[in-house]
Amino acid sequence: MEGITSAANGLSDLVLSAAEQPWVYLVVLLLCLVDGFFPPVPSESVVVGLASLVISQGVPNPWLLILVAALGAFLGDNIAYLIGRAIGTTRFRWMRRPRMQRSFAWAGRELAKRAASLILVARFIPIGRVAVNLTAGATGYPRKRFVLLTVISGVVWAGYSVGIGAVAGSWFEENHLLGVVVAVGIAIVLGFIVDRLIVIVRGNTPLNEVVEAPGSEAGEAREHGTA
């Protein structure tokens, strides 16, 4: 038991030490950037986890954390848009996986109906945002409008993530490692809830469980040179 406690304390000290380093902001920036076009990168978990230390430990700086997270999210979303415009949504193997293709198909339909709200909301859904942003580029959604929307969504998402982390961290000021774990768990649950609320409000299939078969309208349009 003492060994487990010692290991937990060591991990806790390691997390706190990392949060105090200036390079942690660069790590957050890069993770948020890559997460914009490569779903497996867990940027939310990192941002929320670091933010949970703000109240109890005073690090990292919450405003700087919001700034770099928002900047990374903005850059990542726009890189995804440019990738979609340049190569479409089938070039790479991970894009051709059934789940991603169903997401692209869904995004193509929804962009035609309610593009602005979809781009804003999709930022909060890891796989959903990649599908929406790539499809926006592939279907020729106006670049200037996309840039404006991703500025807004990036700032809101970053503030939301840091806020969740700070609140959860304040509940566990005496055990910041537990605060990190709880904060990340809350962020995951809230992401799930956001996805379900979209279904309730709009009657759509969840972004993470799109069920229609591959063969998106966006992809077909691109193949025929109409996108």
**Separation of alpha carbons 216 and 109, rounded Å:** 8
**Residue 191 contacts by C-beta under 8 Å, 6 or more apart in sequence?**
44, 124, 125, 126
Q: What is the per-residue pLDDT across 144-203, written as a single tens digit (0 to 9) for each?
A: 999 999 999 999 999 988 988 888 777 755 555 555 566 566 656 666 666 566 555 555
Inter-residue contact 179 to 153 (CB < 8 Å): no
pLDDT digits (tens, 9 = 90+) for 88-138: 777 778 778 887 787 778 777 878 788 888 888 888 887 778 888 988 998
- Between CA 100 and CA 130 the distance in angstroms is 9
What span, in angstroms and rounded, lies between the C-alpha atoms of 51 and 179?
10
- Please give the model's pTM, rounded to 2 decimal places: 0.71
Collect all residues with Cβ–Cβ distance below 8 Å to 122 and sequence separation of at least 6.
107, 128, 129, 131, 132, 133, 153, 207
pLDDT at 154: 94
